[in-house]
Amino acid sequence: MKKVVLVGRPNVGKSALFNRLAGRRISIVHDQPGVTRDSIEAVCKFGPSPFAIVDTGGIGSSPDPDFAEATHRAADHALEGADVVLFVVDGQDGLIPLDNELAAKLRRASCPVVLVVNKIDDPKHEDREAEFERLGFPRLVGVSAVHGRGTSDLISAVGEAFGAAEEKVEAPEVKIPPRIVIIGRPNVGKSSLTNALLGSARAIVSEIAGTTRDALEVPCELGGHNYLLLDTAGIRHRSKHNTSVEVFSVMRSEEAIRMADVCVLVVDAQVGVTEQDKRIAGLVQKARKAVVIAVNKSDLIPEEDQKRDGLKEQLATWQAQLFFLPYAPMVLLSAKTGDNLKRLGTTLEKVRQHATRRLGTGELNRVIRDAMDLHPPPLKGARRLKVFYATQLEETQPRPFAPVKFLLFVNAPGLLTPSYETYLSAHLRRFREYPGLPLILDLRARPESEKRLRTRGGKRPAKRASAKRR
């Protein structure tokens, strides 16, 4: 797939244009300069054939001095693989010296450049494009990323730059790989883990909490399977958000959890499980997503605590603190040294395999009957839950890491209490492990026709004899 990279100084609207071309909101758009730091990739399906688009951080200025060098390095890395560069400038600000500096740099690039004059929000503003013609690029397009003006002209200019034939190529159907979303509070090593799994410095890593802002989505391969790996912004308690940009970042992280096939919850081995770790784990539980817990920074655990029994006891303590995710496997690793990274991949594959396994209907009903005989359901008023029949549901087109769903036909669904649902799930897990997978019990009342049949002792009513003719 051809690759188009968006570059420009900070706050010229690259992220807004990126979202417009992607057809959805991916990059965070904000008036504050320097919001984008990492390079973010998506697919543009407009035009004759799809192509990859990459949003980069602002080049040539330092609105965010702590990350200026890393942001520029990420942008330069993205430019190396570009087939076409979209050089985005601000039509409202006009041509400034920094634009001239970037233009000089891009003229030395080996790939074609399309000059995009953004923020031409009204036809009256089109005369502003003429000022940028002195930069000397043969392809110039005026657009409004916010309002969508000039998008079709831009797609045509990109196609011309590709040297694509005018004959329309039908876009192939793209099957989206499973999404692994890496989540956690700030500064636990999520971006370091992302880079370690990818084998390259794809995400910017810093000791400053809140470095990652956008949810980065990068293709990767683990254990012979293709995945989309999402590194998310650290989730802090809402009362501790410093800026509106951080609020947007956290919202994207929470949205990424809802989009995930499996979540990797990263915990700091030095600090242990905190209250915020529990809140984030609660988001995963509420979304009913498969989950693996990665305890990162194992290389920083003191030597006296690394003895086998002591370490085993510590892991058990952390697991107990996340008691509402008792089924989540825990992997102790170090993203910095690479220790136990393969085990994380093996654990994810184990979770994926268990999601495809079915429990026979006879076995399932026997397990539920044994559980109810051992510990009967509690009374609610004068009634008690009865389970007549159970079966495992199977999706027609299941996604990998899908939750395990059981359908139970009962006398009244409202009689199942949360504590007894937890008990039944735990009993099922003792029979089948289901590591990392949530169990969903879907209760349905038995149809009225079956109830009436059962009250007659299992016999269907006899048909009335037809009246004799006179």
Residues 49 and 91 in one domain: yes
Residues 12 and 74 in one domain: yes
| pLDDT tens digits along 262-314 | 999 999 998 999 998 898 899 899 999 999 999 999 988 877 766 666 788 88
Does residue 245 register a pLDDT over 50?
Answer: no
Q: From the CB of residue 459, how many other CB atoms can be counted at a distance below 10 Å?
A: 7
Residues 187 and 332 in one domain: yes
Residues 65 and 147 in one domain: yes
Residue range 324-341: average pLDDT? 92
Is 357 or 61 the better-scoring residue by pLDDT?
357
Residue 223 maps to a domain: yes
Residues 319 and 386 in one domain: no
Q: From the CB of residue 322, how many other CB atoms can be counted at a distance below 10 Å?
A: 21
User: Which letter, b or e, does each residue of 188-216 get, where b requires 16 or more Cβ atoms within 10 Å of its Cβ?
Assistant: bbbbbbbbbbbeebbbbbeeeebbbbbbb
Predicted TM-score (pTM) above 0.75: no
Domain total in the chain: 3
Measured distance CA(146)–CA(160) in Å, rounded? 24
Does residue 152 register a pLDDT over 60?
Answer: yes
> Among the three residues 354, 378, 393, which one is the final residue of a domain in this structure?
354
| Domain with 262 in it | 179-354
Residue 235 maps to a domain: yes
Residue pair 257/235 in contact (Cβ under 8 Å)? The answer is no
Measured distance CA(137)–CA(116) in Å, rounded? 10
Residues 144 and 235 in one domain: no
Residues 108 and 13 in one domain: yes
Residues 414 and 342 in one domain: no
| pLDDT tens digits along 362-379 | 999 999 999 999 999 999
Residue range 15-36: average pLDDT? 65
Residue pair 12/32 in contact (Cβ under 8 Å)? The answer is no
Q: What CATH number corresponds to the domain at position 265?
A: 3.40.50.300
Q: What angle do CA 209, 215, 219 make, to 5 degrees?
A: 125
Residues 195 and 111 in one domain: no
Residue 305 maps to a domain: yes
Q: How confident is the model at residue 259 (pLDDT cuts 50, 70, 90)?
A: confident
Q: What CATH number corresponds to the domain at position 389?
A: 3.30.300.20
pLDDT of residue 39: 60
Residue range 342-350: average pLDDT? 92
Residues 440 and 411 in one domain: yes
